[in-house]
Chains A and B, each alone.
Chain A
Amino acid sequence: QITLKESGPSLVKPTQTLTLTCTFSGFSLSTNGVGVGWIRQPPGKALEWLALIYWDDDKRYRPSLKSTLTITKDTSKNQVVLTMTNMDPVDTATYYCAHIVGTTVTVWGQGTLVTVSS
């Protein structure tokens, strides 16, 4: 059974850096074709891809946020970390990590709400 869990701060101040960790089980990020992605959802709004890292360390970023995002993986710990710099109140959202096959999200974490406020 594949599970993913997001962890990180629930509140950050504007201009601070957000660091989120996705800890997963039930699959290996060394398996061909597999990736872990981060997707967010502002309150009452639609889903937005943020970043994705594949088994071969190929990385993809949302073009409009590319300069602020970094995604890394630690295969031995079954973890993927997303950092997002220069946080703004518009970045308030539920942040999901997800198991990816190709570009399809097959399993989602429960999500973590991050509020950006001073």
Chain B
Amino acid sequence: DIVMTQSPDSLAVSLGERATINCTSSQSVLYSSNNKNYLAWYQQKPGQPPKLLIHWASTRESGVPDRFSGSGSETDFTLTISSLQAEDVAVYYCQSRFSFGGGTKVEIQ
């Protein structure tokens, strides 16, 4: 089974600064048939279910602010929040196939 590993476990960033979350998979999630990376990112705020932010590693869902971006390929991926806002405080999860990462908690410094 694929194993997804996130780092760091938590990070504190000042408002307006950049936050970067890493996700590594134990095997490539790039499908050669369509050249797409099957990697998604979710945001979970306290007391709420997760929300899909990005799929195919870099495709933002409709309505997701453009300060959120995803990058990477095969086994190494990154979620970047370019300018952290107060409403971005949450836990972020990466996911591929039937495996989630352990989550990264983002807080305001």
Which residues of A are in contact with B by a Cβ distance under 8 Å? 39, 46-49, 52, 60, 62-63, 96, 102-111
Contacts and interface: CB of A to CB of B under 8 A. Distances in A.
* Chain A interface main SS type: strand
Interface string B31-42: 000000010101
B90 interface: no
Contact of B55 (A39, A63, A104): A104
B98 A60 contact: yes
Nearest to A110: B49
A49 B42 contact: no
Contacts of B95: 47, 103-105
B72 interface: no
Interface residues of B, number: 19
A103 B38 contact: yes
Interface of B: 1, 38, 40, 42, 49-52, 55, 93, 95-103
A104 B95 CA distance: 8
Contacts of A108: 49-51
Contacts of A60: 98
Nearest to B42: A105
B45 to A, nearest CB: 12
Nearest to A61: B98
B102 A46 contact: yes
Contacts of B38: 102-104
A46 B40 contact: no
Given A102-B38, A103-B38, A48 B96 contact: no
B1 A111 contact: no
B98 A105 contact: no
Contacts of B98: 49, 52, 60, 62, 103
B49 A109 contact: yes
A46 B93 contact: yes
B55 A47 contact: no
Given A103-B38, A105-B42, A105-B95, A47 B52 contact: no
Contacts of B99: 49
Which of A46, A48, A109 is most buried by chain B, counting CB atoms within 10 A of its CB? A46
